Amino acid sequence: MTPDIKIDHDERAAPAIPRDVQTEEMIFNLGPQHPATHGVLRVVVRTDGEIVLGCQPLIGNLHRCAEKIIESLSYVQGLPYVDRMDYLGSLNNELGIALVVEKAAGIEVPKRGQYLRVITCEINRVISHLFSAGQFGLDMGAFTPFLYMFREREEGILLLNEITGGRLLYHYIRYGGVTRDAPEGWLGRVVKWCDVVDGHLDEYNNLLTYNRIFLNRTCGVALLQKDVCLKYAATGPILRGAGIKRDLRKDMPYSSYEDFDFEIPVGPFEHGVAGDSWNRHRQRLYEIEESLKIIRQACANLPDGDVGNRKVTRAWKAPPGEAYVATEAPRGELSFYFISDGGRKPYRMKARGPSFNNIAVLETEARGLMLADLIALIGSVDITLGEVDR
C-alpha cells in the first residue's frame, strides 16, 4: 500500500514560471526502482510538466534495524554489521564504531594500527569518491567516465581485498586495532596505485568535469548554499562544496590524522557558484587528491609495532561508560554514540549516518528545479540508501 503521501502545497517557494496556461500537476514516483535513485529510495515528485513543484523522499525500504542488531550481539559479532550501513565506505564505518568503543573503554591503539586504519580508510574514501563522481556522471548521461573511474576503483578494491580479505565489506578494523598487518609489498603497491589514480584524474576532469554540457547541466543547478547546509546539518562534500571549511580529520583529528599534511579543499572552484552540483562533484575529485596525499605520507611513515591492542580478546567486555565520536566518512560526518553497562553487549549504539541528514534537503531544495535537475541534486548529494535506512 502506498503510504499517506503529503506533499507541501506551499507555493511560495515554487518557481516563478509563467502560469499563463492552465495545466495540471502530475505526481511522479521516482523510484524505488528508478535508475537515478541509487538504491531503494522513493521520491514522490509533484511536477508541472518538467518543473518540480514539491517532492518528498520516502525512505525505509532498506531498514534492517542495524543499531538494534548491534545492541543485541556481542562486541565482536556486531562489527560486521556496521560494514553494511554505508556499504561504499565500510571501513570508515568500522573506524567510527571502533573509535567510539575505544574511547569509552579507554583502549590504546598502537601507532601502526592507527596508520593502517588511516591508509585503508583513505583508500576506501578514494574508492567511494570515485564511485560517487562516476555515478554522478552517469546520472548526467555520461557513461564512459563512470567506467574509467570503476577501473581505478577496482584496483583499489583489489588492494583492500589483499589486506582485509573482503571486496566490499571488509571487516578489517576491530576494537583495539586492525585484523592483520600489511602483506609483503602491499605498501609499495598502494603508493603505485596512488600514482595511477593521480594520473587519471586529469582524464576524468577533461572528459567530464570541464565538459561544456556537463558544466551547463550542473553549474548553478541544485544550489545548496551555506545556510541550507547548516539548517539541515548536511555535511561532507556538500558542506565543503558550499564553502564551509569543516573536515573532522582536521578539526578534531582522530586516529593520527594530525600527523599528516593535507589541505581541505573548499568551494567555490573554477566554475559555478558555491554549493551547486558542479562544485560538489569537483569537491569530491579534489578530495581524492588530498586522500592520495595522506595515503602516500602514511605509507612512507608507517611505524613498526603491533597492529592491535592485545588486551582486547574475543570475550572482551567494555567497562561501563559512554562516549560520542564523530568521524569524517566519505559522505559526511559519521558519528556514533555508545553506552556500555559493562555487559557483553553494547547497551546503546546510536549511529548518525551522514546520508540520512543529507537526503533531507530534497524535500525543500528540489522545488523549482527541472526533473533533470532533480536527478542532478540526488546524484550530487550522493546518498547510500544502506546508510539512510540503516
The residue ranges that bind other proteins (CB under 8 A) are 18, 20-21, 23-24, 26, 28, 34-36, 49-50, 73, 76-81, 137-144, 147-148, 151, 158, 161-166, 169, 171, 174, 176-177, 179-181, 183, 203, 206-208, 210-214, 216-217, 306-308, 310, 312-314, 370-373, 375, 379
* Per-residue cell: 277: 552540483
Cβ nearer to other proteins, comparing 79 with 119: 79
Cβ nearer to other proteins, comparing 147 with 252: 147
* Per-residue cell: 366: 528540489
Cβ nearer to other proteins, comparing 240 with 282: 282
Cβ neighbours, 10 Å, residue 291: 25
How far apart are CB 129 and other proteins at their closest, in Å? 19
Q: How many residues does the chain have?
A: 390
How far apart are CB 155 and other proteins at their closest, in Å? 10
Cβ nearer to other proteins, comparing 55 with 294: 55
* Per-residue cell: 109: 591503539
Cβ nearer to other proteins, comparing 59 with 312: 312
How far apart are CB 291 and other proteins at their closest, in Å? 22
Backbone angles phi, psi at 174, to 5 degrees: -120, 170
How far apart are CB 378 and other proteins at their closest, in Å? 10
Query: Which runs of consecutive H residues, i.e. helices, occur in 224-366?
Result: 226-232, 237-241, 248-251, 277-300, 354-359, 361-365
Q: Rounded to an integer, what distance in angstroms lies between the CA atom of residue 353 and that of residue 93?
A: 9
How far apart are CB 279 and other proteins at their closest, in Å? 17
Cβ nearer to other proteins, comparing 243 with 368: 368
Each residue of 321-359: b (16+ CB within 10 Å) or e?
Answer: bebebbbbbbbbbbbbbbbbeeeebbeebebbbbbbbbb
Cβ nearer to other proteins, comparing 43 with 239: 43
Q: Rounded to an integer, what distance in angstroms lies between the CA atom of residue 222 and that of residue 30?
A: 17
Cβ nearer to other proteins, comparing 151 with 226: 151
* Per-residue cell: 68: 538494534
How far apart are CB 333 and other proteins at their closest, in Å? 26
How far apart are CB 110 and other proteins at their closest, in Å? 10
* Per-residue cell: 75: 562486541
How far apart are CB 348 and other proteins at their closest, in Å? 19
How far apart are CB 52 and other proteins at their closest, in Å? 12
Q: Which of 64, 75, 60, 61 is nearest to 349 (CA)?
A: 75
Which single residue is written with the C-alpha cell 571501513?
91
Backbone angles phi, psi at 334, to 5 degrees: -105, 120
Specify the DSSP element, H or E, that contains 163. Answer: helix 144-164
Q: Which long-range contacts (CB under 8 A, 24 or more apart) does 15-21 make?
A: 15/51, 15/367, 15/368, 17/48, 17/51
- Amino acid in position 240: R
How far apart are CB 164 and other proteins at their closest, in Å? 7
Cβ nearer to other proteins, comparing 73 with 264: 73
Cβ nearer to other proteins, comparing 174 with 249: 174
* Per-residue cell: 46: 509533484
Backbone angles phi, psi at 34, to 5 degrees: -115, 140
